[in-house]
Amino acid sequence: MALILPELIHEALTLSLDLVETVLLLFNLAIVIAIVFVERRNPTVALAWVAVLLLFPYAGFVLYLLFGRHIYSERRFHLKGSDDQRVRSRVRRQTRALDERRIEFADPAADRFRPLMRLLLAEDRAVIWTQSRVEYEDRGEAHFIAMLEAIRSARHYIHMEYYIIRNDELGRRFIDVLAERARAGVTVRLVYDAVGCASVGRNFFRPLAEAGGRAVPFFPGFLGLVNFRINFRNHRKILVVDGNVGFLGGYNIGVEYLGEGPLGPWRDAHLRLEGDAVQSLQARFLMDWNYAARDSLGLEDGFFPEPRAAGTVACQIASSGPDTPKLTIKEGFLKMIASATKTIEITTPYFVPDDSVLDGLRIAAGSGVHVRIMIPSKPDHMFVYWATLSYIGPLLDAGVRAYTYDRGFLHAKTCVVDGEVGTVGTANWDVRSFKLNFETNAFIYDRAVCGELRRAFQRDLEYCTELTTERYAAQGRLIRIKESISRLLTPVL
């Protein structure tokens, strides 16, 4: 009997493992069928996932849970029915006015970008605003001072949503100021990303809650512990105060964004907005808040004061995310590229585009447009860094010029075309921002603001090294292998 028992245990374990393998194989086959016949993804992405799931069943299943699932079978972020009808009606009226050239711009150069405006209207209902003031800021200390001043000035409400808020001196300072305004009777609502803020824990937001404010996580993990949604993160960084002042851009909240982290000096870009365009930032926040907080705030709840003419800048606030198959921000980038006649200047920490963006930049360079791309010289994510280099290489042969920023870490997400149209926001030039994360960008039709973007690019060139075809070709074999592996996996990660 003593000899038989181990054999029985061994057979039971073998049968259990066989059963697990069979169930896992069936699950993977079901996923493959869904990818091919239900989700109908891009063929390159579909083939990559099929290969991973069938060749590496255990690892492939885990990777699919973390990175592979789509969520846009239902539109999760929307306005109430009555509000939605009002927005649709406004978009229809503005589209007609745009087509009939009844919308006038203070800067005549904006007129030639009407097709881009119409595209963003159609794809994301991105209302065209013409009476805004837009201030560009790329100095972390000045940016955070301006944000804190705006928060302290709040009299009615403060709306914030951020991908990362660190539990450090700067992050605690923001929570303290928000709590102070909440104690003064100001309504404070904060959306934070559950993965981006995973390290701080909910106790970090307790002072705000005790003061009467509310902080809610975006896509929290299972029971608050395990989060299988590595994709679908809320990468937005938005602050709206009293419906009159708004902030949007690349800075998260933490001392590393002041240059005090392991990557050293930090180069980023953010906008401060006043005037009518703040209404679009407000609407974006309310949609995200309603989903995350299970609330039902709407356009008639006192969040939209009568727009005042704070300036003459024309702009649109456009968003995209995995809740919709429309790739609004990427398509906006493509339309900007196609509109270029002289220059395209891009800054991005991650450059992992799809074929359409690569073709657009290659065609622009071949047409005589001076295309320049600035990327970091040091990585914060090794995988993305090597993938970025693999995509930059072929563009060098097409006449695109590329530069690595050597003065710390480049995190700015900007593009300016011909010095006449520009975009600043949260979206990187990579497939993750195009398809997998929730992003928001401002598209600006004003030569004064775009001139600031160009001057910032020119200043940064002083701290760059050009990545020439000779320098790229001189890279060692090991680097080429890293680039190839990283690029191969970009469709699924």
Convert the pLDDT of each residue in 277-312 to its tens digit. Answer: 999 999 999 999 999 999 988 877 788 888 778 899
**CA-to-CA dists, residue 219 to 63, 102, 211, 250, 441, angstroms:** 18, 42, 24, 21, 21
Catalytic residue among 159, 330, 413, 482: 413
**Predicted pLDDT at 69:** 54
**Predicted pLDDT at 378:** 84
SS3 416: strand
**Which run of H or E residues covers position 320?**
strand 313-320
For 165-221, what is each residue's pLDDT tens digit? 999 999 999 999 999 999 999 999 999 999 999 999 879 999 999 999 999 999 886
Residue 418: active-site member? yes
Map tokens 């995350």 to a residue.
Answer: 292
Cα dihedral 177, 179, 182, 187, rounded to 10, equals 80
- Beta strand 157-162 pairing with 237-241: antiparallel
Q: In the predicted model, what is the mean pLDDT of residues 5-23?
A: 54
Q: In the predicted model, what is the mean pLDDT of residues 154-173?
A: 97
For 313-339, what is each residue's pLDDT tens digit? 999 999 999 888 899 999 999 999 999
- The residue ranking higher by pLDDT, 6 or 179, is 179
Catalytic residue among 143, 159, 237, 335: 237
**Predicted pLDDT at 8:** 46
How confident is residue 227, by pLDDT bands cut at 50, 70 and 90?
A: very low
**Predicted pLDDT at 299:** 73
Residue 130: both structure tokens together: 């013409």
- How high is the mean pLDDT of the chain? 86
How confident is residue 361, by pLDDT bands cut at 50, 70 and 90?
A: very high
Record the pTM. Answer: 0.85
Kindly give, in sequence order, each residue whose CB lies less than 8 Å from that of residue 259, ignoring residues fewer than 6 positions away: 140, 265, 266, 408
Hey, CA dihedral for 421, 427, 429, 433, is it positive or negative?
negative
Q: In the predicted model, what is the mean pLDDT of residues 45-64?
A: 59
Please give the domain boundaries of the chain with CATH numbers for all domains: 4-68 (no CATH), 81-110+133-311 (3.30.870.10), 328-489 (3.30.870.10)
Catalytic residue among 83, 268, 276, 418: 418
**Predicted pLDDT at 25:** 64
Q: In the predicted model, what is the mean pLDDT of residues 456-470?
A: 96
CA angle centred on 273, ends 270 and 277, rounded to 5°: 125
Catalytic residue among 235, 270, 330, 482: 235
Closest CA to 257 of 138, 79, 93, 154: 138
Residues 345/416, Cβ–Cβ less than 8 Å: yes
Q: In the predicted model, what is the mean pLDDT of residues 85-102?
A: 88
Q: What is the DSSP string of 180-234?
A: HHHHTT-EEEEEEETTTTTTT-GGGGHHHHHTT-EEEEES--BTTTB---SSS-B
Distance separating alpha carbons of residues 346 and 7, to the nearest angstrom:
66
**CA-to-CA dists, residue 4 to 1, 8, 9, 245, 369, angstroms:** 5, 6, 9, 77, 79
Residue 46: both structure tokens together: 């579909």
Residue 301: active-site member? no
**Predicted pLDDT at 40:** 47
Residue 228: both structure tokens together: 């299988």
Catalytic residue among 143, 330, 411, 482: 411
Beta bridge partners of 230: none
Among 32-36, 142-146, 228-232, 373-377, the minimum mean pLDDT is found in 32-36
Query: From start to end of 221-296, where are the E strands?
Result: 237-241, 245-249, 266-267, 270-275
**Which run of H or E residues covers position 379?**
none
Beta bridge partners of 187: 157
- Beta strand 129-137 pairing with 429-430: unpaired
Residue 378: active-site member? no
Query: From start to end of 339-438, where are the E strands?
Result: 343-347, 351-352, 370-376, 401-405, 409-410, 414-417, 421-425, 429-430
Percent of the chain at pLDDT exceeding 70: 78
For 233-280, what is each residue's pLDDT tens digit? 999 999 999 999 999 999 999 999 999 999 999 999 999 999 999 999
Cβ neighbours around 371 below 10 Å, total: 25
**Predicted pLDDT at 229:** 52
Residue 235: active-site member? yes
Closest CA to 243 of 313, 155, 315, 320: 155
Residue 401: both structure tokens together: 């010029």
Catalytic residue among 124, 138, 193, 242: 242
Hey, CA dihedral for 248, 303, 94, 129, is it positive or negative?
negative
